[in-house]
């Protein structure tokens, strides 16, 4: 069996990691589908002009992203999350 540690760094076996990755991708895809179904704005509802993902709360790095997001949003979202979570220096 694989070794699992409960600390700042967790070791996961490849199968568990693949299952978690697949589930997080499904969550991001459901976020896309929910927004498209419930949007009143035709740009979002019909053109699917949006992007969703799950990001690290500390670093802002992209963990997973929805499959139907536009590349321009996908590329900019990690930077936007980092800027939004950065500590104010004022």
- Cβ(36)–Cβ(48) under 8 Å? yes
Query: What is the pLDDT at residue 18?
Result: 93
Asked if pLDDT for residue 1 goes beyond 60, the answer is no
Mean per-residue pLDDT, 5-28? 82
Q: What stretch of H or E contains 16?
A: helix 14-38
Residue 6 lies in a domain: no
CA 47, CA 73: separation in Å to the nearest integer?
A: 14
Query: What is the pLDDT at residue 20?
Result: 93
Range of the domain at 79: 14-85
- 7 pLDDT band (50/70/90 cuts)? low
Strands, E assignment, 1-90: 53-55, 62-65
Residue 57 lies in a domain: yes
Q: Average pLDDT over the chain, rounded to whole?
A: 81
The number of folded domains in the chain is: 1
CA 46, CA 89: separation in Å to the nearest integer?
A: 40
Residue 37 lies in a domain: yes
Q: Around Cβ 44, how many Cβ atoms within 10 Å?
A: 14
Residue 4 lies in a domain: no
Mean per-residue pLDDT, 56-79? 81
Query: What is the pLDDT at residue 23?
Result: 94
């Amino acid at each position: 069996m694989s070794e699992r540690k409960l600390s700042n760094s967790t070791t996961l076996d490849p199968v568990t990691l693949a299952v978690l990755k697949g589930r997080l991708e499904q969550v991001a895809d459901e976020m896309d589908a929910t927004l498209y179904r419930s949007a009143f704005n035709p740009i979002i509802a019909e053109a699917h002009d949006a992007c969703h993902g799950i990001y690290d709360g500390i670093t802002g790095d992209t963990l997973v992203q929805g499959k139907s997001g536009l590349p321009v949003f996908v590329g900019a979202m990690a930077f936007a999350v980092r800027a939004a979570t950065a500590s104010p220096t004022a």
